[in-house]
């Protein structure tokens, strides 16, 4: 079970550009490392991150092994309407971790 940290303001002014930051626990094992017995450690990575506002796509990322362990992603959103922000991380086996945050946009 992954745990995630998300930083996003709960309330924003319409038109304001918000910074959204996410951090998730994952080893992002590259598949290139070997253990003490010289056995290759199998690749185990997150491959996708998606952020939506309700059903509108805000930001999507394809991740490769060059992304550091415990991936950190920061991006922006122009606050145009209130809604639910959905965050999704998908690993190489299709397992997903999701989080949600409510966003209220005022005039």
Partner 1 sequence: MTERRAALLLAVLSAVALPLLCAAQLRTDAQVFEDLPAAARELPAARSGYHYQSEEIQALQDDDFANPAMLWVDRGRVLWRQVAGSEPSCEQCHGEAQSLRGAAVRYPQYDAGVGRLLNLEGRINQCRTERQGLEALAYESDALLSLTALVSHQSRGLPIDVSIDGAAQAYFEEGRRYFYTRRGQMNLACYHCHQLNAGRYLRGDRLSQGQATGYPIYRLDWQTLGSLHRRLRFCNTGVRAEPFAFGDPAYVSLELFLAWRARGLPWEAPAVRR
Partner 2 sequence: MMRGSGGPTKPSRRLWLRRAAGLSLLTLLPRELMATPQEMREAMTAVFGDRPITPGRVQIGLPALAENGNSVRLSVSVDSPMTTEEYVDFIQLFSPENPRPDVARFELSPASGLAQVETRIRISAEQDIVAVAGLSDGSLWSGSAHIVVTEAACIDALI
CB-nearer residue toward partner 2: 43 or 100: 43
The Cβ of residue 16 has, within 10 Å, a number of other Cβ atoms equal to 14
Residue 22's nearest CA partner among 102, 80, 76 is 76
- How far is residue 44 from each of residues 10, 58, 66, measured CA to CA in Å? 33, 26, 12
Beta carbon of residue 59, minimum distance to partner 2 (angstroms, whole number): 6
CB-nearer residue toward partner 2: 60 or 100: 60
- Residue 84 in the binding site for partner 1 (CB under 8 A): no
- By CB under 8 A, name the binding residues for partner 1: 3, 5, 7, 21, 23-25, 27-28, 68-70, 72
């Amino acid at each position: 079970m992954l745990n995630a940290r998300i930083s996003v303001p709960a309330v924003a002014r319409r038109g304001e550009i918000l910074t959204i930051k996410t951090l998730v626990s994952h080893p992002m094992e590259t598949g290139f490392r070997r253990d003490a017995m010289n056995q290759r450690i199998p690749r185990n990575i997150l491959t996708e991150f998606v952020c939506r506002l309700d059903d509108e796509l805000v930001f999507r990322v394809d991740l490769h092994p060059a992304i550091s362990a415990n991936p950190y992603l920061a991006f922006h959103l122009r606050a145009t309407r209130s809604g639910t922000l959905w965050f999704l991380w998908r690993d190489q086996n299709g397992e997903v971790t999701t989080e949600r945050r409510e966003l209220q946009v005022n005039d």
